[in-house]
Amino acid sequence: MSKQLLTGNEAVARGAYEAGVSFASAYPGTPSTEILENVGTYREITAEWAPNEKVAMEAAIGASMGGVRSMAAMKHVGLNVAADPMFTFAYMGVSGGMVFVSADDPGMHSSQNEQDNRNYARFMKLPMLEPSDSQEAKDMFRDAFEISERYDTPVMFRMTTRICHSKSLVELGERKVFDAIPYVKNRMKNDPVPAISRQLRVNMLERDRRLSAFSNDCAYNFAEYNGSKKIGIVANGISYQYAKEVFGDSASYLKLGMTNPLPIDLIREFRSNVETLYVIEELDPFMEEQIKAAGIDCIGKEKIPLVDELNPNIIKQALLGETVEEIHCNPNLIVGRPPTLCAGCPHRGFFYACSKRKDTVMVGDIGCYALGGSEPLNAKDMAICMGAAFSLAHGMDKAFQLSGQGKTIVACMGDSTFFHTGINALEEVVYNDSHVICCILDNRITGMTGHQENPGTGYSLNGEPATIMDIETIVRALGVTRVRTVNPLKLDEMDAALDWAYAQVREGPVVLVTRWPCVLKKLSTEDKREFRTAPALCTVDHTKCIGCKKCLSTGCPALSLDKYERKVTIDRMQCVGCTICAQVCPKQAVRKGARKA
Amino acid sequence: MKKMDTKSVMLVGVGGQGTILASKVLTSGLIAAGYDVKMSEIHGMSQRGGSVSTQVRYGSRVYSPIIGNGQADVLVAFETMEAIRYLPALRPGGKIVVNDYQIATLPILSGEKDYPDGITEELERKASTLVIDAARVAAKNGNPRGMNIVLLGALIESLHIQNVDWATAVRDCVKPAFVESNLHCLDAGMRAAEALA
């Protein structure tokens, strides 16, 4: 078979297929999302979107206990959510091989932090593999299942954005099929009550020792000696490619694909063969500190930056002192191009209505609606992590009550985020009775990561019908009595709902569900029945437009102002006729009815 | 194949302009011709109307999928201002292919700022620059949406890539109904670059 150009994520999916994986679960998150989307294209594998990463990890653990090869995938911060089951499963070991992907995001291309999840592998005492291109991603992911079964351990597979989203050539292999291992009850392995865990903990340390020996022997850890051996470089993952780009054949390399446990004997041997040893790794001095602790002299983070992703230029500058010549241009010729909520986005109506409210604290969450904080809407004070908006609001309300600060707290998160962990946060609000307005922006899909199904949409990862969980029903079942569902694109309804919520919140928690599909969503049969979208678009009557710019304050990218004529025009290519601009126009200058281009 | 140095190309534009399809055709042709190829793109928030960039590197053996500033042999900008935003990526002595096509950003749409004047002149002062009205060329060749393939044609010509079967690469990457018009666009882009070279 000829080689194919695959992303690291596509390659991992292929590796899962070739390894005979039967069950895979994930919650979407950049840069990991496409792993499960691609796993789902192999009919032999049951691939599922879980409500969150912890559930995905637990489902994969259960599948392993049930005797088949299984996997879970998540972005780096997702592993924080999924850490609880994995710390203990690390004691217990597997039946069918089990591997999970942590996709880290050095440089924070699409994340709120750049934590280095390699630290988890050491903390959990798990073997960790790190590919440096797509071929390795496929091969190492496939082989990780053998390591998992041979050493009776889950395996952590650590990728980064540049591995996940870069394409390189991959030679494909065939699928190996495994018979499921028949389930046999074994409490001494699978029931970690303290008496059992104490023994498992001892066993785990013994396993760690055997894994160290394996790491020194592993085919993915190897030395490449070149030329004078003056410079030796230890590198992992994408840093190895950057190092090769900069030093080529002028240095020798110790290329590490298995980075936990570190192959200390191999590193010591390599050190004895080179004059100077550099350790090149992104983010934390994960390898460097262990190498130094083993008494091996090396140069690392005193030269290589601790923050942001690396690239060949950064390494060249840090280790060779060479700067790269750049072309400089007139900076006045550049205007920012920030991401914006799309034309027709249902979140716009919600944020526009909220932006008018005084004495309000707006608590946000993780998703497209993070953009509600940007100008001109400017309707967000804070956010922290998935599902946190309601619990943050809860604590803040308690603080305000204790200190007599009379502000109204409006917290918002999307439908998928509500199902993720927001539902737990709402339990907190109800159980411990805080007076906050909790808004669930239900756009009928997981938006930011590119439209994945979730428990509210009525479809599974493979597009099969699934039970639709109705958000308002769930909220009422949790004990909230003050609940309203509203169409956020009807500003009068949105305003009336907020007026009502601001009055009711004095009595107790209020939930508003804004319900309208994402403008980019391919509507399902149920959506088409519920939401009547008119295909017409809006136009501005220039005889009526007074150039007051009120419509521009909605931040819709389809609107533009002609500064000289002082008239607004609507881009026919972008407008979907949501009419938010028409609703805010004081002169009724915006008309709906033109045929869509 | 003779051992050759790695070449680096950067394609930049605005989400939805078809930079991904252009790089797909480019990489598909290069792979068929026997080159080692790596490509890198950034997903996520940039899709919501932000600026997008794709890097393609090819040669006998490619290591890094990305480049730092001052390393791109050719910078192709699907939108005029994006050329200047990514200009630091260009190697001194490298070439620019820039589309004469402007997409306003939010601060410009709202009247807070103006779309800057004199961008192509500044580019021409800094590097060897080819300005193409790809929308006009594409429309003349019967495919108003083929702007990305016109620019790809110009890029291929600027890189002097030879012995690649681009017609097959186009056929492999676009729907059958659009193959003919896209081949015209590719050809027109190549000729435009030839004429201006």
pLDDT category at B50 given cuts 50, 70, 90 is confident
What is the complex's ipTM, to 2 decimals?
Answer: 0.94
Q: Is A161 near chain B, with CB under 8 Å?
A: yes
Cα A135 from Cα A132, distance rounded (Å): 8
Residue B174 sits at the vertex; the CA angle it makes with B171 and B175, to the nearest 5 degrees, is 100
- Answer whether B67 sits within 8 Å of A341, measured CB to CB: no
Cα B99 from Cα B6, distance rounded (Å): 25
User: Residue B14 pLDDT more than 70?
Assistant: yes
DSSP state at residue A455: T
Please report residues of B whose CB lies closer than 8 A to that of A338.
Answer: 50, 105-106
Residue with tokens 């690396």: A310
**Residues for chain B: how many in total?**
197
Residue A1's pLDDT is: 57
Q: How big, in percent rounded to 5, are the helix, strand and coil portions of chain A? A: 40, 20, 45
Cα B192 from Cα B197, distance rounded (Å): 9
Q: Is A327 near chain B, with CB under 8 Å?
A: yes
Per residue of chain A (597 residues), give pLDDT as tens.
Answer: 579 999 999 999 999 999 999 999 999 999 999 999 999 999 999 999 999 999 999 999 999 999 999 999 999 999 999 999 999 999 999 999 999 999 999 999 999 999 999 999 999 999 999 999 999 999 999 999 999 999 999 999 999 999 999 999 999 999 999 899 999 999 999 999 999 999 999 999 999 999 999 999 999 999 999 977 999 999 999 999 999 999 999 999 999 999 999 999 999 999 999 999 999 999 999 999 999 999 999 999 999 999 999 999 999 999 999 999 999 999 999 999 988 899 999 999 999 999 999 999 999 999 999 999 999 999 999 999 999 999 999 999 999 999 999 999 999 999 999 999 999 999 999 999 999 999 999 999 999 999 999 999 999 999 999 999 999 999 999 999 999 999 999 999 999 999 999 999 999 999 999 999 999 999 999 999 999 877 789 999 999 999 999 999 999 999 999 989 999 999 988 899 999 999 999 999 999 887 765
| Through-space distance between the first and last CA atoms of chain B, rounded to whole angstroms | 27
pLDDT category at B47 given cuts 50, 70, 90 is low
Residue B48's pLDDT is: 64
SS3 A574: coil
Chain B, 93-152: which have a CB under 8 Å from a chain A CB? 104-111, 113-116, 118-119, 122-123, 126-127
For B43, the closest of A110, A337, A340 (CB atoms) is A110
Q: Is B32 near chain A, with CB under 8 Å?
A: no
Cα B50 from Cα A338, distance rounded (Å): 5
- Answer whether B63 sits within 8 Å of A244, measured CB to CB: yes
- Phi and psi of A208, rounded to 5°? -60, -35
Residue A228's pLDDT is: 75
Residue A382's pLDDT is: 97
The verdict on domain B7-107+115-134+165-174 having CATH code 3.40.920.10 is yes
CA separation (Å) from A549 to A553, A555, B111?
7, 10, 9
Residue B1's pLDDT is: 45
Q: Is A1 near chain B, with CB under 8 Å?
A: no
User: Residue B3 pLDDT more than 70?
Assistant: no
Q: What's the token pair of residue A350? A: 């919600």
Structural domains of chain A, ranges and CATH numbers in brackets: 3-217 (3.40.50.970), 221-320 (3.40.50.920), 347-531 (3.40.50.970), 536-595 (3.30.70.20)
Q: What's the token pair of residue A33? A: 């999302």
- Answer whether B36 sits within 8 Å of A314, measured CB to CB: no
- Answer whether B118 sits within 8 Å of A3, measured CB to CB: no
For B14, the closest of A325, A337, A341 (CB atoms) is A337
CA separation (Å) from B189 to A287, B57, B186?
49, 21, 5
Q: What's the token pair of residue A417? A: 């985020």
Contact of A278 with A247, CB cutoff 8 Å: no
Query: If you write DSSP's letter for every residue of A478-544 in order, what string do you get?
Result: TT--EEEEE-TT-HHHHHHHHHHHHHHTTTS-EEEEEE---TT----HHHHHH------EEEE-TTT
For B43, the closest of A31, A335, A341 (CB atoms) is A31
- Answer whether B122 sits within 8 Å of A333, measured CB to CB: yes
SS3 A521: coil
Residue A573's pLDDT is: 84
Considering only CA atoms, which of A160, A78, A86 is closest in space to residue A123? A86
Cα A552 from Cα B109, distance rounded (Å): 8
Chain A, 256-285: which have a CB under 8 Å from a chain B CB? none
Contact of A348 with A374, CB cutoff 8 Å: no
What sections of A356-477 are H helices per DSSP? 389-403, 415-417, 423-431, 471-477
- The residues that bridge with A231 in the sheet, in sequence order, are A276
Please report residues of A whose CB lies closer than 8 A to that of B68.
Answer: 311-314, 316, 324
Please report residues of A whose CB lies closer than 8 A to that of B70.
Answer: 313, 324-327
User: Residue B195 pLDDT more than 80?
Assistant: no
